[in-house]
Amino acid sequence: MVRFILRRLLQVIPVFLGTTLLVYYMVFALPGDPIAALFGDRQPPQAVIDTLRSQYHLDEPFWVQYGLFLKNLFTFNLGNDFTGQPIAASLARIFPVTAMLAVEALVIEAVFGIAFGVFAGLRRGKWFDSTVLVASLVVIAVPTFVLGFVFQLVFGVQLGWAKPTVGATADWGNLLLPATVLGLVSFAYVLRLTRASVSESMTADYVRTATAKGLSRPRVVMTHILRNSLIPVVTFLGADLGGLMGGAIVTEGIFNVPGVGNKLYQATLRSEGPTVVAIVSVLVLVFVVANLLVDLLYAWLDPRIRYDQ
Amino acid sequence: MRLTRTSKALGIVAIAALALTGCGAGGGSNDGGGQATGDPNKIITAYSNEPQHPLLPANTNEVYGGRVVELLFEGLRAYDPDGKPVNALAESIETTDSQNWTIKVKQGQKFTNGEEITAKTFVDSWNFAANSENLQNNGFFFESIAGYEEVSAVTTETSADGKTTTTPAPTAETMSGLEAKDDSTITVKLAQPEADWSLRLGYSAFFPLPSAALADPKAFGENPVGNGPYKMAKEGAWVHDQSISLVKNPDYSGPRESQNGGVTFKFYTDPGPAYTDLQSDNLDVTDVLPSNALKTYISDFPDRNATKPVATNSTLNIPGYNPNFQGEAGKLRRQALSYAINREEICKVIFSGTRTPAKAYAPPVIDGFKEGLKGSETLTFDAAKAKDLWAQAEAIQPYDNSKPLQIASNTDGGNKEWIDAVANGFKNNLGIQAEIQPFAKFAEVLDLRKSQSLPGLSRAGWQGDYPSLYNFLGPVWATGASSNYEKYSNPEFDQLLKEGLAAKTTEEANGKFNAAQEILFEDLPGLALWDQAKPIVWSNNVVKAETGWNGGIRYFDITAK
């Protein structure tokens, strides 16, 4: 088990180097002098621009810049962004917000997705199942930003149930609206996966056996059907956590959430290589760890899967 | 079980219904009305975004930091809503020759940390700002003062691959022309006479700084201590990426007395959510509207909007290095281009009246502005005349029509629509191919303008630093000026600017500056397009808001309900 985890963690290194190199290069290749762009029409004295450029090593070739970035990273020094703020402090501010948003979205999609999926799967072909299937198709088809604007307008502006934007007061309650929007699309997928899986297990021999033994319906559903049906769902949820962290850009923009998405968007606009790469690096880590957790969950869900052999 | 199932089903129906009704929804309800008794203690929330630099007056040259700095500090002068300077910390500002100035500073004024403000405070702050080693973005505002050259000196090195870098290398610590005679008297000697010099003393670069700022500018910039109508609400009131909270400074006694208890700037990366927040009274005032709201903001916010002309204009620059626009034929062609733009219609249709057709190279809100300058008739739309002038140019030297005439612009700022309209005007009235040359980012265009490698026209905008005609001419069109990227140069124009600066009275100076504009109309190095008006909207919590001459909201004047 330990060896398995170690091996997985070692895999992070090439993934990490590859991603950061690629992202760094893409930001580097963006045209325009990012320092000059900070100032707009009215340029400061050339000495200011040049000093800033050398401060951020923007006058060096790409490999030198990337090398310095890596060197700094291994000494746990993320440097400053173009506004002079330490990047590490800014990551410490934005990641908890987005993590809250992503976890809330994940809980919403998991709880409702699995619940709806199980009910639909157990009553395959009935009116509830059909309604849920059609509705989930609609949810999948509607782009996130449309959902976001509609929710904001209806629940935020017209009904006044929630504040239309989050802003500085990002707590669990305020994040509920964006988290719902963020979780809705994945909710539909979780629902459909669960439904398919459950309805397949319904016809399995062990379920018939369990029922024949006289086990109560809830018992059959909870321990026999659900546990077996959850493997594909858990896989999806694990991969989705990483996606939710990174994919919050649109939602965070609409609801003005001071998180990763907004920061990433601004940093990209400003061609702030170090900030963009720092954020993406953490996202890569989240992704890898989430997938590791999924693999470990397999063993619990299905004891036939063993890792230390 | 049964219960859960039904409620879930209902939930789905609700979602579907919302998706249907959401689209047809209008703005929020507006009963307005009510007694407008102001609450002087209420905190106003305002649209903003993360400032790009620590909050030091001489370092802040972008809007989001600028609006905070202007509220935290008070300078020698301030501007009234029309841009007329009034004395704030200055008791008097006098000169007899426009070159030697004597400024009397009001006594007994203090920073909010108790430090007294004297003549020395200003001298130290200005020397700090001008010193090239301190890398203050607005350092060049002190360039008129004698001795600036030494304090701001730099060395330029050229590396092996031909790249030049400039590093600060001051040869003096203080400007020779700047002196504190006693606690209340500053004497300033300018390098040359400048009649409008005192107009700029209300600009943030000239604000005084407490000694802590000079000792550790970076730390100070995080928690600035000023002398303005507001102060930071507490240590760490600037929550990065989220907000800055200011509260009323109870000790302030100047022309900008605050009418509310404080201002909290909430940061938005996009104006869309802010607009939504305003509709639900979750935000009190914004000066940045999403571009799709320009047509609807008046109906969305009836009685809660204002649009006032401000000192910002736009031009279309014509590069002198393009052979098509050189010589006598080039001159005729530049005129033809100007006549072929229907400014009136573009302002009305595309900008929904938030811009007005240009009448000169400076906007009407600037003191000394004059309509009907010689040559300004080129600003009217006249298709026949445009065609005729173009034909005359063709007779002298044929136009190289192998490539379309391009108008360079970044496309992220809502510029595409009007550029398409201008290009269509060129196509229809001159019979040439014209199109937008799109760039993802503003910085790209700026780089290419600097290196003079744009094939065609480029758009440019200018926002006044201080309310003076000169500020719209000198930095943009004078030979070698900092923002004269196309390197336009006309000695006659430079001479008139110089004479204007040396003039004894403002009237005389403005006369020279207007004469200088007539030379621009003759040469047409750029086509004046339109002047901006700034629309703002406010929430039901606010009685009224207003912008100043430069388009900044006068936050201290806002009264809450």
Contact, B217 vs B137, CB < 8 A?
no
Residues of A in contact with B54 (CB under 8 A): 84
Least confident of A198-207, B225-234, B383-392: A198-207
pLDDT of residue B108 exceeding 80: yes
pLDDT of residue B16 exceeding 90: no
Q: Could you report the per-residue pLDDT of B511-554, keeping only the tens digit for each?
A: 999 999 999 999 999 999 999 999 999 999 999 999 998 888 99
Give me chain B's average pLDDT, please: 87
Instruction: Return the structure tokens found at A256.
Output: 């003005």
CB contact under 8 A, B241 and A37: no
**CB contact burial B501-523 (16+ within 10 A = b; e otherwise):** bbbeebeebbbbbbbbbbbbbeb
Contact, A258 vs A167, CB < 8 A?
yes
**Mapping DSSP to helix (H, G, I), strand (E, B) and coil, where does residue B188 land?**
strand
Alpha carbon of A159: minimum distance to chain B alpha carbons (Å) = 10
- What's the average model confidence in pLDDT over A140-158? 86
Q: Could you report the per-residue pLDDT of B388-404, keeping only the tens digit for each?
A: 999 999 999 888 888 89
What's the CA dihedral at A214, A217, A218, A222 to 10 degrees?
Answer: 80
Contacts for B113 with CB less than 8 Å, ≥ 6 apart: B210, B212, B225
Residue B108 has φ and ψ, to the nearest 5°, of: 85, 5
Is A26 within 8 Å of chain B by CB?
Answer: no
**Residue in chain B nearest A153 by alpha carbon:** B22
Angle at A133 between CA A153 and CA A102, to 5 degrees: 50
CA distances from B517 to B115, B197, B315, B371, B526 (A): 46, 20, 14, 11, 12
ipTM associated with this complex:
0.81
Residue B228 has a pLDDT of 94
Among B446, B454, B458, B463, most A C-beta atoms within 10 A, so best to mutate, is: B446
Alpha carbon of B34: minimum distance to chain A alpha carbons (Å) = 21
- What's the average model confidence in pLDDT over B103-127? 94
Angle at A183 between CA A182 and CA A188, to 5 degrees: 125
Residue A271 has a pLDDT of 77
Is B135 within 8 Å of chain A by CB?
Answer: yes
Is B8 within 8 Å of chain A by CB?
Answer: yes
Confidence of residue B220 (pLDDT cuts 50, 70, 90): very high
Contacts for B111 with CB less than 8 Å, ≥ 6 apart: B117, B208, B210, B225, B226, B227
In angstroms, the CA A149 to CA B372 distance is 48
Residues 64-123 of A with CB under 8 A from B: 82-85, 89-90, 93-94, 112, 115-116, 119
Alpha carbon of B11: minimum distance to chain A alpha carbons (Å) = 11
- What's the average model confidence in pLDDT over B280-304? 90
Instruction: Give the DSSP letter string of B50-61.
Output: --SS-S-TTT--
Radius of gyration of chain B (CA): 26
**Mapping DSSP to helix (H, G, I), strand (E, B) and coil, where does residue B311 land?**
strand
Residues 265-324 of B with CB under 8 A from A: 266-270, 272-274, 276-277, 279-280, 282
Residues 203-222 of B with CB under 8 A from A: 218
Residue B496 has a pLDDT of 95
Residue A204 has a pLDDT of 84
